[in-house]
Structure 1
Amino acid sequence: MTRARLRAIAPWASLTLLFLVTSVTVGLLGFVNDSERVTIGAHAATVSPTFDGYATLDLGAVLPRLRLPADTPGGIGINIDIQETDADNLTELLNRDALIASQPDGEIAKIQQVVQQMAVDNAVAGAGTGLLVVVVVATIWTMLGRRRRRELWELVHSHERRVEHRAIVVLVAMLITIASIFGPGQMRTADVIPTEWRPLAKLLPELALDERLKGVEVAAGFSTTGGVGVIRTAVETYERSTEFYGRLEERVSRVGGRIHQASEGETVALLVSDRHDNIGIDRFAAEVGKVAGAELLIDAGDDSSSGQSWEVFSINSLRQHFKDLKVVAVAGNHDAGGHIEDSMRKNGFTVLDSKPVEVEGIRFLGDSDPTKTGLGSADAPGDETTAEQSERLADIACDQPDDRRISTMVVHDPSSFADTAARGCATLLLSGHLHRQVGPEHTVVDGRPVTTYTNGTTGGAAYAFALGYTLRRPGEVTLITYADGKPIGLQTVTAQIDGDVGVGAYSPLPS
């Protein structure tokens, strides 16, 4: 390479190097000092990235810190500062946390998404800073011009000693500044003994821990030794939950031969309703869908118990367990408040809102429940009553042309599909809400078949609560088979309270 060519390339190479160094430095500094406040499980929490390779949970002053290997590229770790919760007491809080921890995939995916977003944001900020620096340097370089740059070069070389002296002064000043910023902290003797981490297995040797818990370490100290009983209770709850729902998942495969298999050209949808925060049942439901070859999930609402912001973990779990399926959903009366519907949309669910939509070749119509009900509180009216919603949805359904007939209506309360069923304007009408199965009931209206069906509680809920290490009543999911976008059959699969799995007979639907 000739000297002239090297001289021509050098400025561009220097600017590229300057851009990369500035971008990486600013991006990394921003990333390691970044944090995000999120809702994780039953808590508000602050998430901040590290490079220690561990996911560390700071549970406050009463409970010990926990950590486990993050198994991420580049040794990226995460600190999770667990903060306030709306739990009424410590026992309720620990039960919630242990049960959510037994099915952590949804929350893990959410944390990964938050960290990835922080990485992207800081990479963009670093790139922007690098570009700004390059533009400023290039602008100054161009404004000086070749002649002025040559004069400055000659000036520097003709006053070499003076420049060297100035450079030394500047360097010493920089070193003093850096030392004044970082030195005092390094010279002080730490008053706190470095954290000693103990494996959870050594803290609770009497318990047979699963593989996930074997990697958990606990920060040694008073909160660890003084809270062994509390930790043991949480671990036992975790273990009972994973064992019970794991047994349900395994038994689905044993009865898989009794689950109807779709023929070529048919589509299977899995219907769930009234999970009421019981994310443990999601393993069972997902396995049923897998065995049946389901391509679509239909959610008839009441995924939470009170519609609070912390309960979005229920939707995160649903998305994670059914990440390969499209989801059509409505919110129930216990989901009111907006948090659950917002989370559904953020997770890519098709939330029905009184407009006909087509998903997987199936024409849907539906809407979320207008009634608002908290945990243990009375119903509060919304913008309309269920009777008004029923009449409004019927008008929309009956206004569709014959060749665009509503194949499936999804609502939470069966009262909301009453008018549509009576007028015969949809083929299959689905709901939940009652916590017991009703139907399928078949009628013919003006020569058109109509089937109404209410799914039992998938979460095994008693009243409006289902989160627990076992079921309060049988948990039901329903498989719906479609051909050419029309429903042709139903089959229930039920998780029994004793851990057994029941498979109902396949019920063909009138065509």
Structure 2
Amino acid sequence: MDEQAPHTHGGWGVRIVLAILAVVISLGVGVTTATAQASFGPHEARYEMTTNGLVVLDLGPLGTLEIDSPLPAGLGLDIVVEEIPASFTEVDDATTLQALNGDLERYVQLFSAPQATVEQVTKALVADALGRAALMLVVLVAGWWLGRLLLGATRRAELANALALHRWRVGVALGLALLLGLLSSSLDPSARPQEVRVASSVFDGSALEGARVTGRLGGVIDTYGAQALAAYRENQEFYAAADKALGQAWDERLTAQPLPTRTPDAADLVTVVVVSDLHCNVGMAPLVTTLVERADAQAVLDAGDTTMNGTGVEQYCVSTFADAIPDGVELVTSPGNHDSEETSAKYAAAGATVLAGKVVDVDGIRVLGDSDPNQTRAGQGTASRGESAQDAGERLEQVACDDEDGVDLLLIHTPDVGTAALESDCVPAQVSGHLHRRYDARQVGLGIRYISSSTAGATLGEATIGPLHGTAELTVLRWDPDRRRFLDYRVVAVHPDTSVDVGPRRPWPVIVVPPTTRPPAGTGGPNLPT
């Protein structure tokens, strides 16, 4: 017994080593073979992990663009760019050279916020790698037990006795052989013979400095790359200047004489920032962050049309806007006619609360909203989602009137959808967008309606991506939780010359009930001032 004990312990030791090696090998296989299907700007793309130490952007017949991979252990990534989905087109046809130039600017701008795409691809690759690793581990374990079953107890005992004195050597040798086979392709790329490729000078001074280009793509980049990078840098510089101007304008406004109105203690108020009709202009994302931080807002209300055409590749738009909201600040959206169920689901996955016909509590403000009853798609026009605007408005009115705790705000993209609710005395306030033009707060029925202009600076016939072609607006609202009503609002305007105007606080109108329609005492709506 004393002589067999070491062999018993040695057998368990070998098994533990082999189990660890099985896990390591499974993870190695999972990582080095992981693939993902995701977007690359406006394109669909296939991402594949490699072991050549390069990040290779494959544009098919045009050629490739290569840069040294920042990943460890010789890992690299192949990005095979596929077609642009047929549904991903602009609302206006590119029928002139000016429009074509605008398309170039829009395409370049799609890459100005790569963080969302990187995060999306990373999550997809990690999930695929774990799945492949789990499958490989199952195969190894199944192979182990199948081998034991085929050998039988007697034969296993004979082999165990024959190898008893060499178990550790056999186990280690087997593990090393498997690891060497797995990692043999992960040698330092510099140690392999490679075709000498000269880095393109177009990328000097950019994040792609040192990139090597092959095929026809080299000629395209040499010819048009400088123009594309110039457009990209112009875009970055524009929004950086606008963001700086916003901070300065806000500070200057705070030092100005405040409005002579009686207000509750500011610490007791809830501040919200309203954005609308962003239309994928991710350049405005840093300005949203700055305003939320400067205003010390507790929530952001997105009145819809966050995307241009509601396609899957526009996930990076909603992800970028969601990431722009500081931690601890709620993001609530009422999808517009240019949004879709797919982009709304992506928005929700990124952290937004997507209104769906029910009342939600936003820092004490009871908000009701839903997706726009219509959908607008490029080349198809506008069509109903299955419910007319009137029916949607009446449904929301009924939800508001049936809510025992009352509704404080109706957040809906198209203003007219909220008319029935405002006239019913069940909704005291409405915030909308859609018209790309601001209409200051005014009474409609028995409630107050405010219509936000476009936060993307959207103007007719002009791109909403790239430097602003029109004035972009954001609104800061303050809510009094004790009186359950909005107190005031402030408009922040960002102009095409990067200047910013921070307007004064404007009092939120008080609802005036005509004497002929005032209900008997005790029967009015829950939020109607008396």
What TM-score, normalized to structure 1? 0.80
* 1:218-297 matched pairs, under 5 angstroms: 218-220=212-214, 222-225=216-219, 227-258=221-252, 263-297=266-300
Q: Is the 8 A contact 1:43 1:84 kept in 2?
A: yes
Alpha-carbon distance change, 79 to 356 in structure 1, aligned in 2, over 3 angstroms? same
Alpha-carbon distance change, 105 to 157 in structure 1, aligned in 2, over 3 angstroms? closer
**Amino acid aligned to 2:378:** L
1:63-94 per-residue CA deviation (whole Å, 9 max, x = no partner) reads 65153654x55564432111101477996764
Whole-angstrom distance in 2 between the partners of 1:5 and 1:295: 67
Aligned to 2:56: 56
Structure 2 residue 299 is the aligned partner of structure 1 residue 307: no
Structure 2 residue 19 is the aligned partner of structure 1 residue 19: yes
Alpha-carbon distance change, 399 to 393 in structure 1, aligned in 2, over 3 angstroms? same
Between 1:231-240 and 1:356-365, the stretch displaced more is 356-365
Whole-angstrom distance in 2 between the partners of 1:486 and 1:120: 50
Unaligned runs of 5+ in 2: 95-99, 186-191, 256-264, 511-528
Residue of structure 2 aligned with 1:96, choices 106, 131, 144: 106
Aligned to 2:323: 320
Between 1:430-439 and 1:122-131, the stretch displaced more is 122-131
1:168-206 per-residue CA deviation (whole Å, 9 max, x = no partner) reads xxx9xx99xx9xxx99xxxxxx9x9726251x5x2366x
Q: Is the 8 A contact 1:105 1:320 kept in 2?
A: no
Q: CA deviation at 1:294?
A: 2.4
Alpha-carbon distance change, 481 to 197 in structure 1, aligned in 2, over 3 angstroms? farther
Aligned to 1:187: none
Alpha-carbon distance change, 222 to 463 in structure 1, aligned in 2, over 3 angstroms? closer
Between 1:392-401 and 1:126-135, the stretch displaced more is 126-135
Structure 2 residue 433 is the aligned partner of structure 1 residue 432: yes
**Amino acid aligned to 2:56:** T
DSSP-derived class of the 1:397 partner: helix
Between 1:459-468 and 1:313-322, the stretch displaced more is 459-468
DSSP-derived class of the 2:47 partner: strand
Aligned to 2:466: 469
Q: Is the 8 A contact 1:460 1:476 kept in 2?
A: yes
Whole-angstrom distance in 2 between the partners of 1:47 and 1:204: 23
Whole-angstrom distance in 2 between the partners of 1:4 and 1:489: 85
Residue of structure 1 aligned with 2:120, choices 103, 110, 113: 110
DSSP-derived class of the 1:255 partner: helix
Structure 2 residue 352 is the aligned partner of structure 1 residue 349: yes
Structure 2 residue 370 is the aligned partner of structure 1 residue 367: yes
Whole-angstrom distance in 2 between the partners of 1:277 and 1:312: 10
Aligned to 1:507: 506
What is the root-mean-square deviation of aligned Cα atoms in Å? 3.6
1:354-393 per-residue CA deviation (whole Å, 9 max, x = no partner) reads 1112233321111110112123653222311112111110
Whole-angstrom distance in 2 between the partners of 1:346 and 1:153: 54
What TM-score, normalized to structure 2? 0.78
Aligned to 2:31: 31
Alpha-carbon distance change, 157 to 353 in structure 1, aligned in 2, over 3 angstroms? closer
**Amino acid aligned to 2:61:** A
Q: CA deviation at 1:129?
A: 4.0
Aligned residues: 467
Between 1:373-382 and 1:38-47, the stretch displaced more is 373-382
Whole-angstrom distance in 2 between the partners of 1:379 and 1:326: 31
Aligned to 2:336: 332
Q: CA deviation at 1:28?
A: 1.6
Whole-angstrom distance in 2 between the partners of 1:366 and 1:11: 66
DSSP-derived class of the 2:117 partner: helix
Q: CA deviation at 1:417?
A: 0.8
Whole-angstrom distance in 1 between the partners of 2:290 and 2:247: 8
Whole-angstrom distance in 1 between the partners of 2:283 and 2:68: 22
Among all aligned residue pairs of Structure 1 and Structure 2, give the percentage whose two residues are the same amino acid: 23
**Amino acid aligned to 2:337:** N
Q: CA deviation at 1:133?
A: 4.9
Whole-angstrom distance in 2 between the partners of 1:157 and 1:9: 14
Aligned to 2:258: none
Q: Is the 8 A contact 1:276 1:305 kept in 2?
A: yes
**Amino acid aligned to 2:427:** A
Whole-angstrom distance in 2 between the partners of 1:53 and 1:293: 45
Q: Is the 8 A contact 2:245 2:500 kept in 1?
A: yes
Q: CA deviation at 1:46?
A: 0.4
Structure 2 residue 67 is the aligned partner of structure 1 residue 67: yes
Alpha-carbon distance change, 39 to 414 in structure 1, aligned in 2, over 3 angstroms? same
DSSP-derived class of the 2:384 partner: coil
Q: CA deviation at 1:151?
A: 4.6
DSSP-derived class of the 1:289 partner: helix
